[in-house]
Amino acid sequence: MGFPSWLCLCLHLFIILGICVASPLGDQKRDRITELPGQPKNVGFAQYSGYVTVNKESGRALFYWLTEASTNRGPKSRPLLLWLNGGPGCSSIAYGASEEIGPFRIRPDGTSLYSNPYAWNKLANILFLDSPAGVGFSYTNKTSDLFTMGDRRTAEDAYAFLVNWFERFPQYRHREFYIAGESYAGHFVPQLAQIIYQKSKGIKNPVINFKGFMVGNAVTDDYHDYIGTFEYWWTHGLISDSTYRMLRKACTSGSSLHPTVQCMEALRVAVLEQGNIDPYSIYTRPCNNTAPLRHGLRGRYPWMSRAYDPCTERFADLYFNRPEVQKALHANTTGMNYSWKSCSDIVGNYWADSPLSMLPIYRELIQAGLRIWVFSGDTDAVVPVTATRYSIDALTLPTIVNWYPWNDNGKVGGWSQVYKGLTLVTVTGAGHEVPLHKPRQAFILLRSFLENKSMPS
């Protein structure tokens, strides 16, 4: 006996609807942000956010926020850039998106937003990722993951995220793709770049059309980073001669993420000598009443208070803990039993593997012909310009364009040197978070990088 015609019609519609719900377009529609609470009117670009599962067995899911290029700037013709913050354990939503390169900044009341005139989505489609699981809105259902997270798993999960994300957003397949980040993302970015390069090698027209990466004030090589950091402190009058010698003796043979007892003691003395300064921007006055925020730095130095202008972190804490904001972002869908924080203490304090050097990866990716830029704010004492220069010098690359000042409206914006396979750019007067301190100069930096042109002279 055949099915009634009405039942056949219902089954047909059910199948069609099922396909639509499970389709990339259905997923995109679900992730589309209508409007964020307190957002300026008529922003002129599309936003998406939500979760991508990267490990079904452990229930690990990473949270993303895509801010497309403005409609009047042709988002379909613009490249895609993934931004990663470091820590390890700090949120790209809290830092990159909310106080550096995102389209909005948070007002001190924590309830409203205002436009960032130098937002990077004026030049590219920007994808922010909270990584690894346990950071920001990203989560895992396996608690032990939080105590065993490390470099390798973070890179592998980020790659899994990208593979699944490109399935959800097929319009970005084969689009020019770049990665950028800062601080401990000096580990995240090249390791993810290496995985993408190796998995795409030999494939004609790969889905992830990876062209290169850019990192700022980046943790690169523990030995050279230590040497350069201690030299910066000493030459800028932040520590005594005797402490400088003690640091050179106690610290330069070990890991910066897991220092020895002797190194920790030398670092403790150095912090006492430096006094109440902002190490992320040594000429900037610290935010008032910073005592409650003086907890362990996740990343370059676990013993140093973090981070630039703690007040901005407070704004983010207020805004992203609001239920209506989480609902608008499609975030915290599992109902986390803890408050949203800019950085995760557990992930940062229990970080597992951390290679001593990224230089072997740089050599591999330089040989592959990828576009690689390294930039540095020169008032940062956490991963200072001297550390970056020592690490780059260790690569022994031939110089194509010697050290020169680059200009912004007739004023020196910093200095640059072009090597065979790598470009170094410094930004004068900028601290650890270059786009926060010098947004206009950071915008010029991005434009030059995307156009593959030297900094303007």
DSSP codes, 98-144: IIISSSEEE-TTSS-EEE-TT-GGGTSEEEEEE-STTSTT-B-S-TH
Does residue 102 surpass a pLDDT of 50?
yes
Does residue 34 surpass a pLDDT of 70?
yes
User: How is residue 353 written in tokens?
Assistant: 């593997």
Q: What share of the chain in percent tops pLDDT 70?
A: 90
- Looking at the DSSP bridge assignments, the partners of residue 60 are 55
Active site residue 457: no
More confident residue, 291 or 416: 416
Tokens 């499609």 -> residue: 330
Active site residue 432: yes
Judge contact between 406 and 456, C-beta under 8 A.
Answer: yes
Mean pLDDT of the chain: 90
How confident is residue 253, by pLDDT bands cut at 50, 70 and 90? confident
Cα angle at 328 between 68 and 32, to 5 degrees?
Answer: 40
pLDDT of residue 305: 36
Q: Which residues of 388-419 are buried (b: 16+ CB within 10 A; e: fewer)?
A: bbbbbeebebeeeeeeeebebeeeebbbbbbb
* Residue of 380, 416, 437, 448 marked active site: 380
Q: Is the dihedral of CA 250, 252, 258, 264 positive or negative?
A: positive
> Which CATH number does 381-451 carry?
3.40.50.11320
Count of other CB atoms within 10 angstroms of residue 152: 14
How confident is residue 256, by pLDDT bands cut at 50, 70 and 90? confident
Amino acid found at 169: F
**CA–CA dist 306, 159 (Å, integer):** 29
Does residue 355 surpass a pLDDT of 60?
yes
Count of other CB atoms within 10 angstroms of residue 209: 17
CA 230 vs. chain centroid, Å, equals 25
Judge contact between 280 and 313, C-beta under 8 A.
Answer: no
Judge contact between 146 and 347, C-beta under 8 A.
Answer: yes
Main-chain phi, psi angles of 41, to 5 degrees:
-80, 150
Return the minimum-mean-pLDDT range out of 167-181, 214-228, 291-305: 291-305
Distance from the first to the final alpha carbon of the chain: 82
Q: Which region holds residue 433: left if phi is over 0, alpha if psi is between -120 and 50, else beta?
A: beta
pLDDT of residue 22: 54
How confident is residue 298, by pLDDT bands cut at 50, 70 and 90? very low
Question: Region 253-276: what's the mean pLDDT?
Answer: 89
pLDDT, one tens digit per residue, over 136-164 is 999 999 999 999 999 999 999 999 999 99
**CA–CA dist 312, 316 (Å, integer):** 7
* Residue of 187, 224, 330, 432 marked active site: 432
Return the minimum-mean-pLDDT range out of 90-104, 110-124, 174-188, 279-293: 279-293
| DSSP assignment letter at 373 | E
Active site residue 309: no
Highest mean pLDDT among 8-22, 47-61, 278-292: 47-61
pLDDT, one tens digit per residue, over 311-348 is 777 899 999 999 999 999 999 998 888 899 999 999 99
* Residue of 70, 91, 183, 376 marked active site: 183
**CA–CA dist 362, 288 (Å, integer):** 40
pLDDT of residue 4: 53
Write down the domain spans for the chain: 381-451
User: How is residue 236 written in tokens?
Assistant: 């800028």
Q: Which region holds residue 182: left if phi is over 0, alpha if psi is between -120 and 50, else beta?
A: beta
Tokens 């950085």 -> residue: 343
Instruction: Report if pTM > 0.85.
Output: yes
Question: Region 211-216: what's the mean pLDDT?
Answer: 98
